[in-house]
Structure 1
């Protein structure tokens, strides 16, 4: 810069930066001496408070004159560091971190957390339930009701596949007919052996149909011939 001398000597800068003494401190000390005697600790705290108040009132005077960045650049190294204010970003970050820490601490002290535990379980109704199940395992063919419907006694609820049941019924019927046929033939043979004459089916066999009676009679005649041959 032409025509302007920005050179600052070290003694002049030191005089500009050096703080002036605090005139209020002796007055505060004299005021404390005039007070009645108290506990030494209380007097010490009162002395520190008075000095702190006096220093706080003149806090801007202790900082020295404000300088621009260009002016501070031409000062000696030590004075340049003292006159250059620190960057506000670190201080702002510090306040933000402190604020977040205080918020987290308050939330940890006053907040409520629900304790959740996960475990397997089963819902059991105390009353008003009815177990619906077949006597034999089968395949469900149709469901004639839905959840929440009102039903009556004897109403059809579930229809099962009758294929397996029909096969079992046919097999059991055949086994029953075979057992009755053997029973009737045995009774007829015993009656014929006890007396004389050909064996005759008992009256209990009258309930069978004609084809079944004819088959039983043929088997009975063959067995009677075998008995006579012996």
Structure 2
């Protein structure tokens, strides 16, 4: 993760982000991932086996619990509620849900009821199911659209009302998305082009705008608020 610099004056956060973009931090890796995907499209177009090229290779993945545990608590549950909202938005027959960590059967649970029974809803007990493809985990898979998805929920408090950094670690989070997470995911699905696609969905407008400003391709980024009833 990049070194995090806390803003010393108002407006510095936005300036730092612009400088990073100008220097190519994140953007270069994003462009490499995009270029790799375009090369795969060309390969498929020249393939003699069009039947194989037309298949959605992303369906070769599987639903499971990510190897890196998700730390679900009452305080951060909105992030995982949104993750499951996006993961299931166009999913089927796959379904993504809350499960008890370590349950190999991945039995879906009602997290609200379980947390009530557990009194304090300690983190580490529950996790979510996700989609694994190419050794990388995604928040969901939409089979009918041959698309894997990533969800970003409650990050707006990283900035103040003027759009400047309010939390010193905010810059590192966003640059990490663009310089590490997105390129890794895009590279993992490069062999699924042109059918296979990746989308990043943001619940809030400001994190969406900052991610795009820092180098996340607009063709990948989506602003997708969660319905009020789902909050």
TM superposition score category, shorter chain reference: under 0.3
Larger Rg belongs to? 1
Q: Which has the higher contact order (CA 8 A, sep 6+)?
A: 2
TM-score under structure 2 normalisation?
0.17
Could you say which structure has the higher helix fraction?
Answer: 1
Could you say which structure has the higher strand fraction?
Answer: 2
TM-score under structure 1 normalisation?
0.17
